[in-house]
Every structure is written in structure tokens, then in C-alpha cells.
A = this chain, B = another copy of it.
Amino acid sequence: MKIITVSREFGSGGRELGKRLADELGFDYYDREIITAISKNCELDEKYVEASLENNVWQQIPLTFGSSFISLPVFQSSKTNLLLEQKKVLESIARSGRDCVIVGRNADIILEEYAPFNIFVCAEMLSRVSRCFDRATDKEKSFSEKEMISKIKSIDKCRRETRALISDIPWGDPHHYHLTVNTTGMDIKSLVPAVAQYIRSSFGSREK
């Protein structure tokens, strides 16, 4: 069984690369499916699960639910529970034994014992800003460049912090990934066959 994990800076096109890689390799693809499974298992709303895992919910919720009775420790505990549930979902995907690409969710760490091939996708900030505007919601389209940079930095900060909860290995350190791809100025589609070939060679190289 071969597992590919794709970790990525927000706006770097890592999700697109992951999806296209799965298509190219004929592997299963997991991204939002993981959030859906967690929501189902915990009987929680998907948007809540996503916000809790993707954002620093203990920083944001007090703004949203300022007058609610829910205290900070409850939210921290909730995030911990969701991370544990996420671990279960990832392990059940791995145990299925099917080749797959998993985007995000610190799958590189959680599924370490399955020896996944780990990719990190990064890009220069202006390239990421431009990619974010290209796929922006109506609300985001009214963002200034400065606001978009702030959003990108905030999401990456959360990804770095969530990872620090479960591992000492810093997010984005190229020593932890097999391949680090910089998508600045690149047409992702055209890079996919070469990345797929690299992955095949790497798994072949391990078997020697």
C-alpha cells in the first residue's frame, strides 16, 4: 500500500496538486471526506469541525459567542477530542490498505508507521495572494491585498500550531518531507506527471 501525504501553505495550490496526483496515479483521494467522517462520528456540524481544526477556535469562538457560557478550557478539550477522532479516521483509511493521497490533517505524522511519501507545497506570498483571489468567495473578493495576506498568515499560523500539538517536527521543514515543491509561477497541472514519476521512483528505490 502506498500513502501520499500533501502538506501545504495556504494558497500554494497544494490541494490542486494532491487531487491531480491522485488522478494521475489512480489513487483514492482524501480531503474534505475526513472532515465529513469526523462530523458523522462525533455527531457535530461539518462547519464546526472544520473551523475547530482549521482555525484557532479557542481564539475565534469567544468573539463569535462572546456572551455564551462556553469557557476556554472546554474548547481546548473539544479541539483535542476532534484531533483524536481525526487520528482514528486517518488510521481507518490507512488500514483499508488502498493506495491514497491525503491532503492536510498532519497525516504525515499520524500515519508515520505506514511510511507515507510526504510532499510539502509552498509558494511565495504574492503568488499565494493571487491564487487566493482567483478562487475567492464574494466576501473575500472585497479584501485588500493586505487583508488577504493577513488571512493567509493566520491560517498558516494555525496549521503550524496544530502540528506543534502533535509533533516536535516543525511544519514545512524540508528534512521531514521527501519533496518540497514551490508552485510560484508554475502551472500545477504540467508538473503533476513529473511529481508522480518522482513518487513512483521513490517507492521503487525503497524496495531495493
| A→B interface (CB under 8 Å) | 120, 122-124, 172, 174-175, 177-182, 184-187, 190-191, 193-195, 197-198, 200-202, 204-206, 208
User: Do A201 and B206 touch across chains, with their CB atoms under 8 A apart?
Assistant: no
Cross-chain contact of A122 among B124, B174, B198, B201 (Cβ < 8 A)? B174
- Which chain B residues border A187 with CB–CB below 8 Å? 205, 208
Smallest CB separation, A193 vs chain B (Å): 7
User: Do A194 and B197 touch across chains, with their CB atoms under 8 A apart?
Assistant: yes
CA distance A9 to B181 in the complex (A): 18
User: Do A205 and B186 touch across chains, with their CB atoms under 8 A apart?
Assistant: yes
Nearest to A187 among chain B residues (CB) is B205
Return 26 A-B CB contacts under 8 Å, by A number. Answer: A120-B174, A122-B175, A174-B182, A175-B184, A177-B180, A178-B182, A179-B179, A179-B181, A180-B180, A180-B182, A185-B206, A186-B202, A186-B205, A187-B208, A190-B201, A190-B205, A191-B198, A191-B201, A191-B202, A191-B205, A193-B197, A193-B201, A194-B194, A194-B197, A194-B201, A197-B197
Smallest CB separation, A167 vs chain B (Å): 15
- Which chain B residues border A197 with CB–CB below 8 Å? 193-194, 197
- Which chain B residues border A194 with CB–CB below 8 Å? 194-195, 197-198, 200-201
CA distance A178 to B122 in the complex (A): 10
Smallest CB separation, A173 vs chain B (Å): 9
Q: Which of A180, A184, A187, A200 is most buried by chain B, counting CB atoms within 10 A of its CB? A: A180
CA distance A187 to B198 in the complex (A): 12
- Which chain B residues border A122 with CB–CB below 8 Å? 174-175
Smallest CB separation, A158 vs chain B (Å): 19
CA distance A120 to B122 in the complex (A): 14
Cross-chain contact of A175 among B124, B178, B200 (Cβ < 8 A)? B124
Smallest CB separation, A134 vs chain B (Å): 16
User: Do B201 and A198 touch across chains, with their CB atoms under 8 A apart?
Assistant: no
